[in-house]
């Protein structure tokens, strides 16, 4: 039995809820029993298709004291069904603190427990690219467990290979989009409105390519955080307290750039799409998507666009999303200096080639990776 614990409820922003659904779908197709513990588990049950109520369980958990409730329910179910081994699957490990994860250890007193989940590099690792002993969030908890999988977007250096079972989590997203030749917008930028994803680039494109119909829609907009250099470590800063000079300088540059959002060729909204279906509809209305990753994370917007065959204009720094775009859609790449040549990006957008979506192929790869959990439920692994 696999227990999926996720304390993030249904939310409009981000892809946490959707990613949880991908995991459940993969487990159902692999004929693996699971229990989904979440504040909105009953909603997930209504959304999921082909649920076998004798194998797939959905339990609503109050947000308050989430971990204690989870451990009580798992303990009761494990004892009642005499389960000799279980798997704790955490779709997004950083949602739990180290102290909260430690409270799961009580389960190890009643049965054999394996752990699996998806994590990210620590803030210090991102900021310094340092040779840290523990470069990933909550790594310390996992590396002391007997059986575990820690999924990451980009596999770590070989120097970490003996520390714990790192595995790459394949990129996947579902979409109902069927791109066509009639578009309301030429280029769109969706999701978190962050400089680390291309907010400065879309503003520059709008300024130097007034003939393009541009749409910007998402969450987290801040007028003074549009331009934040990342390529050169000396220019990075976490807050004005850590580097007041850079903070003041780049904030002063960002504020006037932010007024580009009022241009006639720009449709701007700092309110995210209310649902995945509305996001899909928005993607279907645009000729191309812009994404410029500066951090090593993956991107749900990129995954959806690739799945649907929507052209992606991109630039950035090596990482999960960058590497995926380089492999799947290299023709969408542009050079940073091209942003400042009037009309240059407009021409590139018009010439972006169409391509077939990759949803089916990506699903088979994703499901095959989740199938690794089967090994934790076999007797041989615990002999």
In a domain, 336, yes or no: yes
Rg (CA), the chain: 22
Q: Is the same domain home to 332 and 378?
A: no
In a domain, 55, yes or no: yes
pLDDT tens, 45-81? 999 988 998 999 999 998 788 999 999 999 999 999 9
Beta strands of the chain (E only): which ranges?
A: 2-5, 34-38, 56-60, 85-90, 112-118, 148-152, 166-168, 185-192, 214-219, 266-269, 286-291, 312-314
Task: Decide: 177 and 310 in contact? Cβ < 8 Å.
Answer: yes
CATH number of the domain that 155 lies in? Answer: 3.40.50
In angstroms, rounded to a whole number, what is the distance separating the alpha carbons of residues 225 and 270?
14
- Between 1 and 224, the more confident residue is 1
* Best-predicted range by mean pLDDT (140-149, 200-209, 277-286): 200-209
Give every strand in the sheet of 185-192, ordered side by side.
266-269, 214-219, 185-192, 286-291, 312-314
Number of folded domains that form the chain = 2
Q: Is the same domain home to 227 and 319?
A: yes
Residue 203's pLDDT band, with cuts at 50, 70 and 90, is: very high
pLDDT tens, 122-154? 777 766 666 666 678 888 888 788 788 999 887
Q: Which of 370, 306, 265 is nearest to 23 (CA)?
A: 370
Q: Is the same domain home to 63 and 156?
A: yes
pLDDT tens, 339-365? 999 999 999 999 999 888 888 888 999
Residue 14's pLDDT band, with cuts at 50, 70 and 90, is: low
In angstroms, rounded to a whole number, what is the distance separating the alpha carbons of residues 344 and 45?
48
Q: Is the same domain home to 205 and 340?
A: yes
Q: Is the same domain home to 141 and 283?
A: no
- Between 201 and 181, the more confident residue is 201
In a domain, 89, yes or no: yes
Structure tokens at 8: 């993030």
Beta strands of 154-294 (E only): which ranges?
A: 166-168, 185-192, 214-219, 266-269, 286-291
For 10-14, 120-124, 332-336, which range has the lowest pLDDT when averaged over its residues? 10-14
Q: Is the same domain home to 372 and 283?
A: no
In angstroms, rounded to a whole number, what is the distance separating the alpha carbons of residues 89 and 113?
10
Q: Is the same domain home to 158 and 33?
A: yes
Average pLDDT over residues 1-5: 97
pTM of this prediction? 0.79
- Between 337 and 361, the more confident residue is 337
Q: Is the same domain home to 128 and 236?
A: no
SS3 29: helix
The continuous run of DSSP H or E covering 75 comes out as helix 66-80
Can you give the residue range of the structural domain that contains 275? Answer: 185-352
Burial class (CB in 10 A: 0-12, 13-18, 19+), 123: exposed
In a domain, 177, yes or no: no
Mean pLDDT, the chain, integer: 87
pLDDT at 326 over 70: yes
Q: Is the same domain home to 13 and 130?
A: yes
pLDDT at 161 over 60: no
In angstroms, rounded to a whole number, what is the distance separating the alpha carbons of residues 90 and 137?
13
In angstroms, rounded to a whole number, what is the distance separating the alpha carbons of residues 6 and 44?
12
Q: Is the same domain home to 213 and 130?
A: no
Hey, which residues does 87 pair with through a beta bridge? 2, 114
In a domain, 213, yes or no: yes
In a domain, 14, yes or no: yes
CATH number of the domain that 347 lies in? Answer: 3.40.50.2000
**Helix/strand/coil percentages in the chain, nearest 5:** 45, 15, 40
Q: Is the same domain home to 154 and 94?
A: yes
Q: Name the percent of the chain lying above pLDDT 70.
A: 87
Structure tokens at 338: 């091209």
In a domain, 79, yes or no: yes
Q: Is the same domain home to 347 and 366?
A: no
In a domain, 176, yes or no: no
Q: Which of 286, 263, 90 is nearest to 185 (CA)?
A: 286
pLDDT at 276: 82
């Amino acid at each position: 039995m696999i227990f999926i614990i996720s304390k993030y409820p249904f939310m409009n922003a981000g892809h946490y809820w959707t990613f949880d659904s991908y995991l459940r779908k993969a487990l159902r197709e692999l004929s693996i029993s699971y229990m989904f513990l979440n504040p909105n588990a009953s909603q997930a049950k209504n959304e999921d298709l082909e649920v076998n109520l004798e194998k797939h369980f959905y339990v609503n958990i109050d947000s308050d004291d989430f971990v204690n409730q989870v451990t009580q329910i798992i303990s009761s179910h494990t004892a009642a069904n005499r389960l000799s081994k279980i798997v704790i699957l955490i779709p997004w490990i950083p949602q739990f603190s180290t102290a909260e994860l430690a409270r799961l250890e009580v389960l190890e007193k009643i049965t054999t427990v394996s752990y699996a989940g998806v994590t990210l590099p620590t803030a210090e690792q991102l900021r310094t690219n340092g040779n840290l002993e523990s470069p990933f969030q909550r790594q310390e908890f996992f590396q002391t467990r007997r059986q575990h999988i820690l999924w990451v977007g980009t596999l770590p250096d070989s120097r970490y290979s003996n520390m714990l079972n790192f595995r790459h989590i394949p990129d996947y997203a579902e979409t109902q989009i069927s791109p066509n030749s009639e578009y309301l917008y030429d280029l769109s930028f969706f999701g978190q409105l962050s400089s680390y994803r291309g907010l400065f680039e879309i503003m520059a494109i709008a300024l130097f390519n007034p003939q393009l119909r541009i749409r910007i829609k998402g969450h987290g907009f801040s007028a003074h955080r549009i331009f934040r250099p990342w390529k050169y470590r000396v220019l990075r800063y976490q807050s004005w307290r850590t580097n007041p000079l850079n903070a003041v300088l780049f904030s002063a540059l960002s504020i006037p750039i932010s007024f580009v959002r009022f241009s006639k060729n720009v449709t701007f909204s700092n309110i995210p799409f209310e649902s995945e279906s509305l996001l899909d509809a928005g993607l279907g209305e645009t000729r191309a998507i812009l994404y410029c990753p500066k951090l090593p994370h993956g991107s749900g917007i990129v995954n959806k666009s690739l799945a649907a065959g929507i052209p992606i204009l991109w630039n950035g720094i090596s990482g999960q999303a960058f590497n995926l775009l380089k492999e799947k859609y290299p023709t969408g790449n542009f050079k940073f200096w091209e942003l400042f040549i009037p009309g240059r990006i407009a021409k590139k957008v018009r010439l972006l080639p169409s391509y077939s979506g990759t949803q089916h192929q990506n699903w088979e790869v994703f499901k095959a990776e989740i199938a690794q959990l089967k090994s934790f439920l076999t007797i041989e692994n615990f002999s």
